[in-house]
Amino acid sequence: MVLFNPMGFADEVAITRILKECHTIAVVGLSSNPARPSYHVAAFMQSHGHRIIPVNPNETNVLGETAYPSLGAVPGPIDLVNIFRKSEDVLPIVEEAIAHGVKAIWMQEGISNEQAAVRARESGLFVVMDRCWLKEQAARSHRG
C-alpha cells in the first residue's frame, strides 16, 4: 500500500518504510566531486550499510563503485532511485526506473516533478519529492 499526504508527497510512514526497506540505491546524478551534495548524501548512505550504484554518464567510478551511464545499464535489482537532476529531467528517469522494477523514487531537496510522481504512483512506486534522504535518515536515527 502506498501512502501519500494531500500534497502528493510520501507521508512519514511511507518515508520511514523506504528508509528501512530500500537497501540498494541507484543515485542518478552522483558526482565524484566531494564538494557536491550528491557525493555527500551517497557517502552517508554507503556509510550506513546501503549499496550505492552511481548513475552518471560522466563518471566511471564513484565511492569505490562502478558508475553506469543510465538506469537501464545497471545490472540486477534496484530498490530505490535517488535523483539529483533538474526537475525537468526527472520524467525519463522515472520511466527507466519503472522499467527496471524499482520500489521507490526519491527526488532530492529542491527537485519535484508532479507529472513524474503521478506516473510513478500509477505504477505502484513510493514517491518522495523535494526532501533530503540524508536529513530524513538522520532525523529518524536521532528519534531512535
In this predicted model, what pLDDT tens digit does every residue of 89-103 receive, in sequence order? 999 999 999 999 999
pTM summary value: 0.90
Q: Which residue has the higher pLDDT, 64 or 19?
A: 64
Contact 127, 94 (CB under 8 A): no
Instruction: Give the model's pLDDT for residue 138.
Output: 87
Candidates 3.65.10.10, 3.40.50.720, 3.90.180.10, 3.40.50.12780; CATH matching 12-143: 3.40.50.720
Instruction: Give the model's pLDDT for residue 3.
Output: 38
Q: Which residue has the higher pLDDT, 139 or 25?
A: 25
The answer on pLDDT for 8 being more than 50 is: no
Instruction: Select from 128, 124, 118 the least CA-distant residue to 82.
Output: 128
As a whole number of angstroms, the distance between CA 122 and CA 56 comes to: 26
User: 105 - beta bridge partners?
Assistant: 81, 127
- Average model confidence (pLDDT) across the chain: 90
As a whole number, mean pLDDT of residues 54-65 equals: 98
